[in-house]
Amino acid sequence: MAGHRTIIEVSDAAALAAAAAERLIKRIDANKERPAICLTGGSSPKRLYELLATDAYRSRIPWERVHWFIGDDRFVPESDALNNMAMAKGAFLDHCAPAANIHAIRTDAASPDEAASLYARELQAFHGSDRLDPARPLFDLVLLGVGPDGHVASLFPGYPGIEVTDRWVVGVPEAHVKPFVPRVSLTLPPLSSCHEMLFLMSGEDKRAILGRVLAGEDLPANRARSDGETIWLCDRAALPEGDSV
Ligand code: 6PG
C-alpha cells in the first residue's frame, strides 16, 4: 500500500544484510527487463554490498540486465574515500557489474548543480521520460540509510532540497552533518518512484533517530515514502525500547 510503512525486525547486522540481499534479489527477479536499483551511501549498506559479491549471492543476480544508480553522493573525486559510488564499486560493483550498468553521479563536473543536471538527464534517458508515473516506477528498489538528523540521501531537514518537486536531482552546497562536503542528491519524487523503498537501520547509534521517526516527527526520513512498498529493516540494537515488532 502506498504511503504505508512496514517495520521488519532482524537480530543483528549480519541478518540485516542477508534479509536486504534477499529482498533485492526478489525485486530484480520480478523485473524481466532492465531492473534498476538505487543504492545508498554511508556505512549502513557496506555489509550488504560485500555480501552481494560473494559466490552464493553473485550467482543469483543477472548482472547483464541490472542497472545501478545512487541516491546521493558527496561532491568529491572518485578516488576519495568519501565517495559513495566508489565505496559501492569497491565493495561489489567492480567485481560483478558491467561498467555500462553503473550510473555514478559525475563528481568531476564543474559544480554540484551541474552534476545534478547531468544525473537528472541520465535518469530520464534511462527511464525514457522526464515524467514520473506511479504506474511505471523509475526504480525497482531504492535503498536508504538515515542520518542522525533524520536526513535521507542528502536531503537534510530544513534545507531547500527536501521541498524540491520540479527537479529530480539537486546540488547541495553544504551538508548539515559530517562529512561537511557539498553533495548531490536525488529529490523525493524520483526516490519515491519505486516498487520498494528499503531502509537499513543497524546498531544502537540509530536508536535515537529511529525513535523520532517512529514518533512521527516531520523529518526527511518520514517524508520519504515509496509509491509502492516502504520497508524499514531494523536490527534489534537499532529499535528503541518498546518498539520491538
Ligand atoms: C551519505 C548518505 C546518507 C547516509 C546516512 C546514513 O552520503 O552520507 O547517502 O544519506 O545514508 O547519513 O549514514 P550511515 O549509514 O553512515 O549511518
Taking only the tens place, the pLDDT of each residue in 118-128 is 999 999 999 99
All three cell numbers of 131? 515524467
Q: What is the mean pLDDT of the chain?
A: 96
All three cell numbers of 227? 509509491
Check: CB of residue 210 under 8 Å from CB of residue 148. no
pLDDT at 154 over 90: yes
Residue-level pLDDT at 7: 97
All three cell numbers of 159? 534545507
Q: How far apart are CA 145 and CA 65, in angstroms?
A: 25
Check: CB of residue 210 under 8 Å from CB of residue 243. yes
Residue-level pLDDT at 243: 64
All three cell numbers of 154? 542528502
Nearest CA to ligand 1 atom 3: 153
Residue-level pLDDT at 1: 52
Residue-level pLDDT at 135: 94
Atom of ligand 1 nearest to the CA of 151: 10
pLDDT by residue (tens digit) across 194-208? 999 999 999 999 999
Residue-level pLDDT at 184: 98
Q: How far apart are CA 132 and CA 211, in angstroms?
A: 32
CA 169 to chain CA centroid, Å, is: 14
Q: Say if pTM beats, i.e. exceeds, 0.95.
A: yes
Atom of ligand 1 nearest to the CA of 44: 15
Atom of ligand 1 nearest to the CA of 183: 7
Name the band, by pLDDT with cuts 50, 70 and 90, for residue 117.
very high
Q: How many angstroms is it from 240 CA to the middle of ligand 1? A: 20
Q: How far apart are CA 234 and CA 180, in angstroms?
A: 27
Q: How far apart are CA 26 and CA 20, in angstroms?
A: 10
